[in-house]
Amino acid sequence: MEMSELDGRREPTSSKLEQGGVRSSLSRSRPEDDSNNGETTMVELAPQRGSSRSKRGEDPALGKVIAGRYRLEARIGEGGMGIVYRARHVLIDRVVAVKLIRPDLRGETHLRAWMLREARAANRVDHAHIIDIHDIGETDDGELYLVMEYLIGTPLSTELARGPMPLQRAVDIIEQMGAALCRAHDLGVVHRDLKSDNILLTARGGRQDFVKILDFGLAALAHDPRLAPKGAVFGTPEYMSPEQARGEQAGPQSDLYALGVLFFEMMTGQLPFRASDRDTLLEMQRTGRAPLPSSVRRDCHPEAEKIVMRLLEKDQRKRYRDGHHLLEELKKLQRSLPSHTTWDAKKAADGTTATPPVPPPPRSPSVMEWASRAGLFSRMVARAFPAGNAPADVSQALATLWDVAAKANHLEGEVASHTRKLEALERRGRALRAEIGRKVEELAQEESRALREAAAYSEEEGQARRELAQAQAAAREHVAAADHAEKLGQGTRTLFERAGAARALVDAKAAWLATRERRRKARESVAADLRAQIEELRGQLSRYADAVEEDLAAGREKIAARTRDGLAYEKQFVDACNVLVSHLKGKPEVRDLMNELRASTEQAPQSGAAKVEPARAAS
């Protein structure tokens, strides 16, 4: 989604709707380029009015098979890090999004290693509101790729281009994002480049505005070349925290600051900081105080405004301690808001809820159809050469069709079996990651409360220490005055009572200080114990994930090897079809069968399990 990065204004990107249809197997053509102008997501956008297809030239990568398994069908997005394609497994009907790293970054070996590490860490988060990463690796020629779930929806930036959101909707979206960030931060993963372009609003289980955070754990490598030279700062300046603008390492608090920018934007319809040049914008992020949302939109909810302003504090220590602390405040706000028809129900009532378009069917016959086409060609040869005097190359091509069809049919079952095993392993791994993630999240919530209580006791302890010092100073004065008067024989009951009261006050202040100190240490001890449990679970997660990844890698390689066999069969089938068509296309006695062949290749398969990618013959 293109955005005017400097002045805070956005231009909605024209969305696209997949143009279905199937290419004829008798005239092989390359997949189309479906890229959006400036689109940075890895998703297919929901259809909108006025959508138009890109006018870009054909992408040479289209049609390429990545890692021996995924054929790139359409270009659906690009950003600072790379290009995203809709892809389909060449032997099974599985549609995914594949991200390839920009060519100019492929030589940066340290960046590739960093990205692989970050992507694997992000994949271990396993949260409903974070995009799933199915596969990560490098091709034989060293090209880095990521295979992700294929999503259809609307970027938050598109919604924000329409203006401010109703508060209930904004809080719902922010709460989902906060929940995802909590899980990620608990597991040691930081997004570092949270922005409206990286938030997708999709539909799931009948619910609209289901949030998916994209580019999780990868965006630290991306920077906007228009606003910052390479190596200066990472992130998008409009959403960049003060510490990032100073060139410091981004952490969980940086993500919370970006959430504050997004919440401000959803409430008011504009960014908190806008400038016409990079340096001014970065300086505003470093030192400028954010305006009150109510100064932009008078009807802003006061509690929502407090949450926004705390998130946008320049001092990290003044922001929320962590995402769990923020979620508690957001849930309080949600409970206080008027209860009325939800936005999902309103959309349904208005008839504006549309079922997202499904990916187009594969533009190829299934393996079973290979045998059907072999039979069709057999009938053509029998008609064209009734005496059985077919040329040797025709007879050989026909035999090849039957042989390859039989092998492909067997291969289809074998790959389907391997795939089922691999998917079962993935499900077990995902279930365990989710279980450990939930346990970590529960412990982290308790740790967050314990640390906040410890901080409160620490403040009371500091106040008690100051009061004790004042009481001690006052006691010393009263005792000294009483002692001096006694030496002079001028001691009075009042003086001695003051000295005694001052000593008693010191004892009381000391006892209060000891209580605060004891309670602080107790809460810190609880937090430390919880942290130890969290680290142990994180270690278990890492060890298990590594073991599962090894098994998955072995399974993927097995499937990749069989898939390469399938691609070889496909080439043999295409070559044999070309030979037969070249001999038969001019013979009038097979014209009706040739038309039948053309008609069958123009019909897309609507269903089926495993599929083999197009076997096309030139007409």
Q: State the catalytic residues.
A: 193
CA atoms within 13 A on the CB side of 391: 8
What are the tokens at 3?
């955005």
Q: Report the C-alpha gap between 440 and 461 in whole angstroms.
A: 30
Task: Give the number of other Cβ atoms within 10 Å of residue 584's Cβ.
Answer: 22
DSSP per residue, 122-173:
HHTT--TTB--EEEEEE-TTS-EEEEEE-EEEEEHHHHHTT-PPPHHHHHHH
173 contact partners, CB below 8 Å, separation of at least 6: 156, 165, 199, 201, 209, 211, 266
Q: Report the C-alpha gap between 17 and 613 in whole angstroms.
A: 22
Helix (H, G, I), strand (E, B) or coil at 610: coil
**In which residue are the tokens 């901080």 written?**
455
What are the tokens at 206?
């009948």
DSSP per residue, 520-561:
HHHHHHHHHHHHHHHHHHHHHHHHHHHHHHHHHHHHHHHHHH
Q: Nearest-CA neighbor of 256 among 180, 332, 155?
A: 180
- Asked if 1 and 587 count as a contact pair (C-beta separation under 8 A), the reply is no
- Asked if 259 and 156 count as a contact pair (C-beta separation under 8 A), the reply is no
Q: Report the C-alpha gap between 94 and 72 in whole angstroms.
A: 12
